[in-house]
Amino acid sequence: MKYIVSLLITLTAVWFLWSGHVEPFMIFLGVISIAFSLWISLRMRIVDEEGAPVEMGLRPFFLFAPWLFKEIVESNIAVAKIILSPNMNLKRNLVTVPAGPKSELGKVMLANAITLTPGTVSVKMEGDEILVHALSFEGAAEDLSGDMDRRIQKLER
């Protein structure tokens, strides 16, 4: 039930943020669209701890997202330097990164965070390991450092 309520609140907030309408007819249409979306989600049975992660609350938005944004910007600059350099110093490799988070949601967040960081792509996740393709060894070394891993584990607590 808590997942349904959290999804309802999230859908309502997103609808109001994106629409900005307060006219009665528009609110009526918003209620219908939210109810329809919720009904479809329930019918598909995708409302669970992964689809509506209530346990983490708003911590990912305030603690993890700003740090991840900074990492994405820094990685963009590093990848741009590699691509724009005349000798294009690429050292592509596949690296296995240990996934420390205990929950499936934490592991998925880690794999997605690695993929969001330019120059790295999570290729495969199996058990407690993520196979990562990296453009350069430096990018792979940053993933192996475990800073992302530690931050996501902190969110799980």
Q: Where are the domains of the chain?
A: 2-44, 59-156
Return the pLDDT at 76: 85
d(CA 90, CA 136): 6
- Along the chain (157 residues), what's the average pLDDT of each consecutive run of 10 residues? 82 90 93 94 79 64 82 84 81 84 84 83 90 75 70 79
Place of tokens 């453009």: 135
The contacts of residue 94 (CB under 8 Å, 6+ apart) are 123, 131, 132, 133, 134
pLDDT at 50: 62
- pTM higher than 0.85 for the full model? no
Helix (H, G, I), strand (E, B) or coil at 129: strand
Q: Where are the alpha helices (DSSP H) in the chain?
A: 2-19, 24-44, 59, 65-84, 104-116, 137-145, 147-156
99, amino acid identity: A
Burial class from Cβ neighbours inside 10 Å (0-12, 13-18, 19+) for residue 114 reads buried
